[in-house]
A and B are shown apart, each in its own frame.
Chain A
Amino acid sequence: MAKFVFIVPPLTGHINPTLSMGAVLIQRGHQVGWITLDPDLAFKLPEGGELLLIKYNESDQQKQDSEQYLDIITKKIVYGIDSIKFLYEEVLIPLNRHSYDGIVDWLEKYKPDLVITDHQMFAGAIAAVNQKIPYATSVTAPAAIKIMDELPKVHEWEVNQIVALQKELGMDKLTSIACSGLLTMVLTSKEFFGELELPACYHFVGPVINRKPVNAYFDWDLLNKINRPKILVSIGTTFDHEHKKNFFAKVIEAFGDEELTVVVVSEPSLFEMWPENFIVQRMVPQLELLPHLDAVVCHGGHNTVCETLMNGLPMVVIPIAYDQSHVAGRVVRVGAGLRLNFNRFKARHLQEAVYEILQKEDFKTSALEIKRSFIAAGGTEAAATLLEKFSVNEPLFLLNS
């Protein structure tokens, strides 16, 4: 029996896969903890999982102040390459700096055999190396490790931000240690990720999505009442009100009173009236819902895209910021869907795109091919087996390599 600890950022898409992996490790008799800043994670942990909450002294004003990045990420409107700068300077670097001491404290107390840190929680990797504990990395947003040949300085700039933080936290190394040289699990398949030369320590385990069902009410009778194509429209949890209002106004114009049933993930109060063929809920049981649908419209968050492909469904991707442009690019490249520009698209384009993916069988065929590659990659069980393998007797020289 081994002791594992996951280090997660307060971002749903990055947390969910660790919950599935952790659940399997617990089932196999291991001890598993989660180091986090988010007390609400307690409600999501699998049975037997331990919450290792980072808490600082309340009199420490500096630490209190730096927690504001949690709000910033949902409020600021960022786009394109600019959003990468924002993500690092105003969210990831402050978040990691803020978390570091708390992570070190927990590693000293909990003494795990293997640390599994998110690729954006590089403070976890730094803490593990400084504490001489082996660590693996879980890459939940695989586009982040992809380098654009034409714009190499973008990646280089990202690495420089991480290296500067490493230095600040006492590590003199000129390369980023965010991705472990021992084991880096990329949560997609090679087929979906695309060609890229990667070191042998990178393992494509496929998406890890067999998580606990969400306890959200859903009117299944209403969904199935009329026999017509059904679509889901969701732009995730990260974006703010103004973004959403503009976006869903176009969704209403595109699909109001069409021969479709449209499930929308949004605050129903965003508009006073929604069209009659819409089902609008703040939360939906997405995993249970997907098998009933014909297509998905989303912003290109990696989890929703993978869940959609796992159901062999075609999609229209409308990337907003960060790595979503890449994810959308991959969906188009593998032939599983179409992409629209978030700022520019009009209702008409969305309508045309959705009808096109519904009508042309090719999109679905390509989505099914990716589904097969996901299943072949092994998913949660394969990830858990890799973690077990690296939790025992790994010589220290592999560390930090």
Chain B
Amino acid sequence: MDTIATTQKLNNDEIFDLMKQFITEVIGEEFVEEMDITPKSSFTKDLEMDSIEIVSFSEKIKTHFGEQIDFTGWLSAMDLDQLINLNLEMIINYIQECQSSK
């Protein structure tokens, strides 16, 4: 599943669903069911994911999009406050940016 090379551009909703799928894979389906995940959900405060879980989530994005986006580069440039406030919308916007610049 993870190795699909997505060539067509995804819209915001599709990216959001994909993010939700990755979060589910990292923290488990039954927990996700109880959460109200929105684009505004932050990883640390709302989803209560710790650094190791955020890293596994980023691995999944990397595997999925491959060369299309430099997710590791983007994430590794984040300072502590940015990481604490990191939410789904920021990632959606970043992926959109990468797609539209192709």
With A and B bound together, what is the CA distance between A81 and B79 in angstroms? 11
**Does B91 interact with chain A (Cβ within 8 Å)?**
no
**Does B10 interact with chain A (Cβ within 8 Å)?**
no
Quote the shortest CB–CB distance from A279 to chain B (angstroms).
31
The residue among B58, B79, B80 with the most chain A CB atoms within 10 A of its own CB is B80
0/1 per residue, B51-84, Cβ < 8 Å to A?
1111100100000000000001001111111011
Flag the segment in A145-153, A240-248, A359-367 that touches B.
Answer: A145-153
With A and B bound together, what is the CA distance between A152 and B72 in angstroms? 10
Quote the shortest CB–CB distance from A356 to chain B (angstroms).
15
Contact A148 B51 (CB under 8 A): yes
With A and B bound together, what is the CA distance between A115 and B76 in angstroms? 36
Contact of A82 among B28, B44, B55 (CB under 8 A): B44
With A and B bound together, what is the CA distance between A79 and B46 in angstroms? 11
Kindly list chain B residues whose C-beta atoms are within 8 Å of the C-beta of A148: 51, 55
Kindly list chain B residues whose C-beta atoms are within 8 Å of the C-beta of A85: 80-81, 84
**Does A182 interact with chain B (Cβ within 8 Å)?**
no
**Does A142 interact with chain B (Cβ within 8 Å)?**
no
The residue among A80, A319, A328, A343 with the most chain B CB atoms within 10 A of its own CB is A80
**Does A56 interact with chain B (Cβ within 8 Å)?**
no
Contact B50 A151 (CB under 8 A): no
The B-contacting residues of A in range 308-361, CB under 8 angstroms, are 319, 325-326, 328-329, 341, 343-344
Contact B84 A157 (CB under 8 A): no
Quote the shortest CB–CB distance from A76 to chain B (angstroms).
14
With A and B bound together, what is the CA distance between A152 and B54 in angstroms? 13
Contact of B27 among A82, A325, A328, A341 (CB under 8 A): A341
Kindly list chain B residues whose C-beta atoms are within 8 Å of the C-beta of A328: 52
The interface size of chain B toward A, counting residues with CB under 8 Å, comes to 25
**Does B49 interact with chain A (Cβ within 8 Å)?**
yes
With A and B bound together, what is the CA distance between A79 and B43 in angstroms? 11
Quote the shortest CB–CB distance from B98 to chain A (angstroms).
18
Interface of B is mostly: helix
With A and B bound together, what is the CA distance between A276 and B50 in angstroms? 35
**Does A287 interact with chain B (Cβ within 8 Å)?**
no
Contact of B48 among A151, A152, A343 (CB under 8 A): A343
Kindly list chain A residues whose C-beta atoms are within 8 Å of the C-beta of B55: 148, 150-151
Contacts A81-B44, A82-B45 hold; do A154 and B52 have CB atoms under 8 A apart? no
Contacts A150-B72, A151-B54 hold; do A80 and B48 have CB atoms under 8 A apart? yes
With A and B bound together, what is the CA distance between A325 and B31 in angstroms? 19
Kindly list chain A residues whose C-beta atoms are within 8 Å of the C-beta of B84: 81-82, 85
| Minimum CB distance partner of A157 in chain B | B80
Contact A79 B44 (CB under 8 A): yes
Kindly list chain B residues whose C-beta atoms are within 8 Å of the C-beta of A329: 52
Kindly list chain A residues whose C-beta atoms are within 8 Å of the C-beta of B78: 151, 153
Contact B44 A80 (CB under 8 A): yes
Quote the shortest CB–CB distance from A225 to chain B (angstroms).
37
With A and B bound together, what is the CA distance between A79 and B76 in angstroms? 20
Contact B83 A153 (CB under 8 A): yes
0/1 per residue, A269-287, Cβ < 8 Å to B?
0000000000000000000
With A and B bound together, what is the CA distance between A235 and B53 in angstroms? 21
**Does A84 interact with chain B (Cβ within 8 Å)?**
yes
| Minimum CB distance partner of B59 in chain A | A150
Contacts A151-B83, A153-B77 hold; do A81 and B51 have CB atoms under 8 A apart? yes
Contact B77 A325 (CB under 8 A): no
Kindly list chain B residues whose C-beta atoms are within 8 Å of the C-beta of A152: 76
Q: A153-B79, A156-B79, A344-B28 are in contact. List 14 more A-B contacts (CB 8 A).
A: A79-B50, A80-B48, A80-B51, A81-B54, A81-B84, A84-B80, A148-B51, A150-B75, A151-B83, A153-B78, A153-B83, A154-B83, A325-B50, A329-B52
The 4 lowest CB-CB distance pairs between A and B, nearest first, are: A157-B80, A80-B50, A325-B50, A343-B48
